[in-house]
Chains A and B, each alone.
Chain A
Amino acid sequence: MSFISRGFKGRGRREGAAGRLPPGQYLEHGFPVLSAGPTPHTPLDRWDFTMVGQVDQVRRWTWDEFLALPAETITRDIHCVTKWSKLDSTWTGVSVDTLLDGVETSADYVLAFCDGGYTTNLPLEDVTGGKAWIAYAYEGQPLAPAHGGPARLLVPHLYFWKSAKWVRGLELLAADQPGFWESLGYHNRGDPWREQRYWGDE
């Protein structure tokens, strides 16, 4: 109910949450924080983003180089496996397609790696074709460290643990390799619309 009074930003809001909440999810207006570890505070002059693994050559961007890449602003619903969903969150960042432009690879999987040691694994096709970004702004503001700043992976069509906070790069892999939560009982792919929460879910 209260989301109606929090201001309309897009046509989607007018339609409300009906049909936009995956099974088992509830509507959340805040932005809960969930972390598997302490918040890293990597200085921007020591930050970089790298594309490693099965690539013809390693790609690396400094913070300044990253900000100079073509950016996109997108509005998406996000869904946490702990059952909250948040509608119409607006992010700015670089599409993974842009980062992979010109990269020659035979990989079918990626493992996102992060400051603090967190990892999450995804099929390459879940981060290409306009489905994933490296986001550095949220609602027009620099992404707060608690929410994964300076930059996080954003893969809104999968449960939010896949949108790795404090991301520093993608490793392209020929064979899938379970990430942090995927190796502790959480589903390997995590599609909220199919309610793929845990090992064994179809």
Chain B
Amino acid sequence: MDAEALRLDGNAAAGLLDQIFASEVTTVRGTCAGCGRTSSIGALLLYGGAMGAVLRCPGCEAVVLRAAAIRGRYLLDLRGAAHLELRDGA
């Protein structure tokens, strides 16, 4: 069977993603896409003031994660993170 026949729509990943987004944020560990250093959220350096959260790597100061509240919605930019590791909150 080819890959297209096995493909599901994104809703089939909802259970997994629900678990991830329900995680305790303080347990999240992010790996910097720039230098590869892994840090807890609390160890990242916060800038951005009232415009939004700009969280930078304590190793190389590159942006790892950005978040902003924009007129009732939230934007999350993870292009500076190689990956995030989240613990099961349960």
CB contact between A35 and one of B47, B63, B70 (< 8 Å): that residue: B47
Are B75 and A184 closer than 8 Å at their CB atoms? yes
Identify whether the interface residues of A are mostly helix, strand, loop, or mixed.
Answer: loop
Identify whether the interface residues of B are mostly helix, strand, loop, or mixed.
Answer: strand
Given contacts A34-B50, A34-B51, A36-B48, contact A184 B61 (CB under 8 A): no
**B54 located at the interface, meaning its Cβ lies under 8 Å from any Cβ of chain A in the complex:** yes
Are B63 and A117 closer than 8 Å at their CB atoms? yes
* Interface residues of B, count at CB 8 A: 18
**A51 located at the interface, meaning its Cβ lies under 8 Å from any Cβ of chain B in the complex:** no
Q: How many angstroms between the C-alpha atoms of A82 and B50 in the bound complex? A: 6
Nearest A residue to B45, CB-CB? A38
Q: How many angstroms between the C-alpha atoms of A34 and B49 in the bound complex? A: 6
Are B77 and A35 closer than 8 Å at their CB atoms? no
CB contact between A37 and one of B50, B51, B54, B77 (< 8 Å): that residue: B54
Are B61 and A185 closer than 8 Å at their CB atoms? no
Q: How many angstroms between the C-alpha atoms of A38 and B62 in the bound complex? A: 10
**A3 located at the interface, meaning its Cβ lies under 8 Å from any Cβ of chain B in the complex:** no
The 8 A CB mask of A65-87 against B (1 = contact, 0 = none) is: 00000000000000001100000
Nearest A residue to B75, CB-CB? A185
Give the number of residue pairs across the A-B interface with Cβ within 8 Å: 47
Q: Which of A183-202 contact B (CB under 8 A)?
A: 183-186, 198-200
Nearest A residue to B71, CB-CB? A198
**A161 located at the interface, meaning its Cβ lies under 8 Å from any Cβ of chain B in the complex:** yes
* Interface residues of A, count at CB 8 A: 17
CB contact between A181 and one of B51, B56, B62 (< 8 Å): that residue: B51
Are B52 and A184 closer than 8 Å at their CB atoms? yes
Q: Which of B40-90 contact A (CB under 8 A)?
A: 45, 47-52, 54, 56, 61-63, 66, 68, 70-71, 75, 77
Are A184 and B49 closer than 8 Å at their CB atoms? no
Cβ–Cβ < 8 Å partners of A183 in chain B: 77
Binding site for A on B (CB under 8 A): 45, 47-52, 54, 56, 61-63, 66, 68, 70-71, 75, 77
- Apart from A35-B47, A36-B47, A198-B70: 11 A-B pairs, beta carbons within 8 A: A34-B48, A34-B49, A34-B50, A34-B51, A36-B54, A36-B63, A38-B45, A81-B51, A82-B51, A117-B63, A186-B51
| Contact sample, A vs B, 7 pairs, CB 8 Å cutoff | A34-B48, A36-B47, A36-B51, A36-B54, A161-B51, A184-B52, A184-B68
Binding site for B on A (CB under 8 A): 34-38, 81-82, 117, 161, 181, 183-186, 198-200
